[in-house]
Every structure is written in C-alpha cells, then in structure tokens.
Amino acid sequence: MNTVIIDAPKEENKLGSLVKAFRKYYVSFAASIILLVISVLLLIFAPDMIRSLTNEITPVGKTPVDGKLIINMDNVLHYAMILIVSMVGGFITRFTSGFILNSVIQRFSRDLRNQISCKINRMPLNYFDGTQTGDILSVITNDVDTLSTSMQNSVSLIVQSCFMLVGVFIAMFISCWQLALVVACSLPIMLFIISLTFSYALPLFDKNQEILGEVNAVVEENYSGQLVIKAFNAEDRKISEFREKNEMLGRVLYKSQAIGGLVEPATAFISYLTYASVLIVGGLLFANGTIPDIGIITGFLVYVTLFQNPLSELGQTSSTIQLGIAACNRVFSFLEQEELEEEKETKPLLDHKHIRGEVEFRNVCFGYDSRKLTITNFSGRIEPGMKVAIIGPTGAGKTTLVNLLMRFYEITSGDILVDGVSIKKMTRKELREIFGMILQETWVINGTLRENIVYNLKDVDENRLNEILAETNLSSYINSLPQGIDTLIQKDSALSAGQKQLITIARAMMENAPMLILDEATSNVDTRTEIMIQKAMDSLTSGRTCFVIAHRLSTIKNADLIIVMKEGSIVETGNHDSLMDLDGLYSEIYNSQFA
C-alpha cells in the first residue's frame, strides 16, 4: 500500500460559488423577494396608522364637550381596519415568500447532494488516498444540511432586514427627522458589535466544521475497525482518542456560540436606550411645539422596533449564518476539487471481440508524490495470451503497475500500449471494459447475491451464471439460503472473508473480459477452495492475456512470464525454472516460503 500525503488546502470564502450555483433558481428566488418586499412595505405602513389611532383616542388638541372627551369611533374603526388589513396582508405575503424560498432551498440542497454524488465518481483516486472517508461523509451529510438550514433561516432574514432598514429609515425621516437622527445614532453601534462578533466567531465556526469532519472520521474508523480494536484490546485507547476530538469540538463550539451569543443582549440593551432617548427627545420636541401631535412619538416607538429588530435578529442568527458560511466553504471546496479529465464518447479504438492481448510498457515512470518516483523507467512487452506473474517485496510497485494499466492513476511519463494502441488515446470506459479485475480487497454491496455477482451487466445468461456459481464453489452456499441467489445480503453481514472473495471472483468471471488482472485473487480462501477456484481460473484465463499478482508463488509456477520487481524497477524476468537457475531475488523469495 503506497501512502499518499496531500497538503490540506486552506479554506477560502466560497460565497461567490454559492451564488453561481444558485442561479438556476433566480426566478423563484426573485418572486420570493418581491413578496417579502411587499410584506415589509405593509409593516412599515403600520406606524402611520398607529399614529392616527393614537391621535384619535388622546385628549391632546381636542376640546371636551360637556366635560367629556368625544372620540370619533368611525375614524378609530377606519384606522383599525386599515391596520388589520395591512398586518394580514403582510402575514400572507411573508408566509408565501417563506414557502417559496424554503422549497427552492430544499431543491437546491437536493441538487448539491446529486452534484457531490456525481463529483465522487469523477474524482481521481489520489484524492481519496489522502482524505479520510468520514470527512468526505461529513461534507455530504453534515455540511450540506448545515448550509441548507442556514440558508432557510438567514436568507429571507437578511433580505427582509436590508429592505426593512432602508424603508423604516426613509419613513422615519419623512415623519420626523429629529427623532430619526436619534434612532440613527444607534445604528453604527449595533453594526460595530455585529461585525466585531463576526470577525472573532467566523474562524471558530470554520474550525468547528473542520473538527466535526475529524470526529466523523474517527467514528467511521472505529465502526469499520471494530474487529481489530477488540482483537487488540484497544477500546480504551480509541475511546480516549474520540474523547479528545469530541472535547476539542466542544471547546471550539462553546467559544463560537458564546461569542455569537453576546450579540442579542448587547443589541437589546441598545434598543432600550434608544426607546428612552426617543421618549425624552420626543417629549422635549412636543413641549416646545416642534412636533404637532403625540402620535408621532407613539409611531416612532414602533419605528424603533422595526428598525432595530432586524439587527437584533441578525445578531441572534449570527451563529447559524457563520456555521452556514463555514459549511459553504467546505461543500464548494469539495465540489471545486480537480477532476479527472473529461472524455468524450468516441468510437472504440479496439474491436473488443478480437483483442489479441498484446501489452507493451515503454519507459513508464510514475510517482504518487511528484518529488519521489515509485516506478522508474519500466519497460516490458507482453505477448498475446501470456500469463504474466508480477512478484516482489512489499512496496516494489506491483499493484501500482496494475493501477497504471487500468488508468486509475495517470503515468508521469512514458506510455502503455494495448494491441499497439496507447491507453492515453482510449477512454477510461473502453480500457476498463477490456480488463476483468479481481482484487485482494473484497467489495460487496447492499443487495441480493444476484445483484452482487451480475453487478453492472445486462441480459445475463442464467446458464452461464449457474456454471460460474458451480466453478467458484458458491452453489452449495447459495442453496443453503432461504431465497437462494435472490437472498438479500448486507455489506457487513455474516459473510466470511472467503465468501466475499468468491463473490468478487464470480463477478469478474461473469464479466468475461478479454484480458484479466488478478491481484491476490485467492488470498482470502482456504487451500481446498483455492484449488477448486484455480481450475476455474485456468479455464477463465485460457487464451487470455492475464496479469497475476500473488505472494503464494505456488500459484504462479506455471506462468509464461514472471516479472520480479524491486523498488519500482524490473530486476528479473523469465519463467520459474530459468529464474530459479539465476539464484537471484526470485529464488530468494521462493525459497523463503520453505525456510
């Protein structure tokens, strides 16, 4: 296994990427905003009606009749009805706006998950070599959910707050510019508090999402490695490691939430100071006759609420907004990772029904790290129909060579040709249809046994399927299942490692590709089963060019060509007898089995 170390990229602000990705929903978003603006205008209209109602029911400026204050109830009802209608209209438009916006955001979140799912299949393998599985899962689940929740809670609030602030600001100056200046003095103070909070809290929320990904990675690792953890009595160590990460997450989250939580009490304090200032200044202005009626002061108290509520709400949701920004950065950093070069569907360069199976390596060089080559100047020619065994010490480059042949990784320099055609000119799809592959790592999906074996094939021949089940010794196991081959199995169900290996071998045999790659294909089966499978493999490999990587040298003694690798280079080639006569590395490895 080659270890790949990738420097973690620095988080950048991806809000611009979010806006571009959202352009599909601009029309629906605009409709939601228009309705939201209408609801804001209706709310701004309310203080003027309250002013009129206050003037109707207060004695200021009115002459009593027979010692009694006469209130014109028709006017009161008129203003009250206008106020009620405007409030109901504001509620309906705001509710409709929120419904449209939330629907749009949910569809956008669905699209993001689809994009991530498609992105995973377009990513080069070296990204997954250097990134923990749990961290990737955290992006797909936690970060997309956090971004969706943040957008639901904050987008309409931000838009409404902006329009509300501008509208109320204009309405206040129209009503009474002196009192408007009193209220306006609180704005820079509140903005300063919010911006200061953001500057301190945002890095903490970025760190929070990063550590959350690490916690998920630890959980995934502990879950998938339970057998090893229990076998080595490492429960206490793993619990300690998780507790350390979890406590770190708790500390960062506590600091970020604590700083974000300062906004609400600070803005509430400023709001009450503003109320007092309006009442004091308004009283003085009314006393000296600058403002004509007491209703202006009453209306201004509502204006203060409408003016400062948006800022207060922004402060209260600042933690959600900042979490959303952090999640946005992680989601779009993932979506903007370098992909495999896109290939256009072209006419196949080889006739797959008449492939000869000639493979040539020409001065192939490759390194997982550009500073250090794993394979250096590898050259070799494989004749059609040959069974080629590749052996060597751990880390010699055996599996890497196969990965290059399948274009799981792109070679640094040189070329590989199949039947005289460079694999660089073939599409990955065409190349991988040529090779059947059985790996040491077994991979089973959640589904029926049939789905696991036929996998991506269509129009499966049932007779051929039954033959393969018999050849791989799976028939007896399948006959013992309640629904036979259509029995549902889970990825982590009670299948033995050998049974999983047999399923992967049957899958490759079912594909019936013109060329084969076997990477420790029988490492997880017992000797008796291996002998039975070897007969099936011999039948399968007959007439096909076949590359075999194996540590059990007894399985490759009959290979037409044995390539011995060391530190990325070929050091010996030949058949078993000729290599034993050389008394070199192959002879040393072979004899070590019996030492």
- pLDDT tens digits, residue range 7-47? 444 456 677 888 888 888 889 888 988 888 888 888 777 77
The pLDDT of residue 10: 46
As a whole number, the mean pLDDT across the chain is 80
Is pLDDT above 50 for 5? no
Contact 348, 423 (CB under 8 A): no
Mean pLDDT on 163-180: 81
Q: Which helix (H) or strand (E) holds 362?
A: strand 359-366
- For the structural domain made of 352-592, what CATH number should be given? 3.40.50.300
Is pLDDT above 80 for 448? yes
- Rounded-to-integer distance, Cα 50 and Cα 45, Å: 9
The long-range contacts involving 309-313, CB below 8 angstroms and separated by at least 24 positions, are 309/164, 310/157, 310/160, 310/161, 310/162, 310/164, 310/165, 311/161, 311/165, 311/187, 311/190, 311/191, 311/194, 311/267, 312/263, 312/264, 312/267, 312/268, 312/271, 313/157, 313/161
- Rounded-to-integer distance, Cα 119 and Cα 126, Å: 14
- pLDDT tens digits, residue range 271-287? 788 888 888 888 888 78
Residue written as tokens 């600001």?
169
Q: Quick one: CA dihedral 42, 45, 47, 50, positive or negative? A: negative
Q: Indicate the domain borders of the chain.
A: 15-335, 352-592
| Confidence band for 415, pLDDT divided at 50, 70 and 90 | very high
- For the structural domain made of 15-335, what CATH number should be given? 1.20.1560.10
DSSP3 helix / strand / coil % (the chain, rounded to 5): 65, 10, 25
Beta pairing, strands 561-566 & 569-574: antiparallel
- Two structure tokens written together for 172: 């206040």
295, 299, 304, 310: CA torsion to nearest 10: 180
- pLDDT tens digits, residue range 235-254? 888 888 888 888 888 888 88
Share of the chain above pLDDT 90, in %: 1
- Rounded-to-integer distance, Cα 3 and Cα 129, Å: 7
- pLDDT tens digits, residue range 67-85? 566 666 777 788 788 888 8
DSSP lists the bridge partners of residue 199 as none
- Rounded-to-integer distance, Cα 142 and Cα 160, Å: 27
Beta pairing, strands 447-448 & 435-438: unpaired
Is pLDDT above 80 for 581? yes
- pLDDT tens digits, residue range 194-247? 777 777 777 787 788 788 878 888 887 887 777 778 777 888 888 888 888 888
Residue written as tokens 């749009």?
104
Share of the chain above pLDDT 70, in %: 90
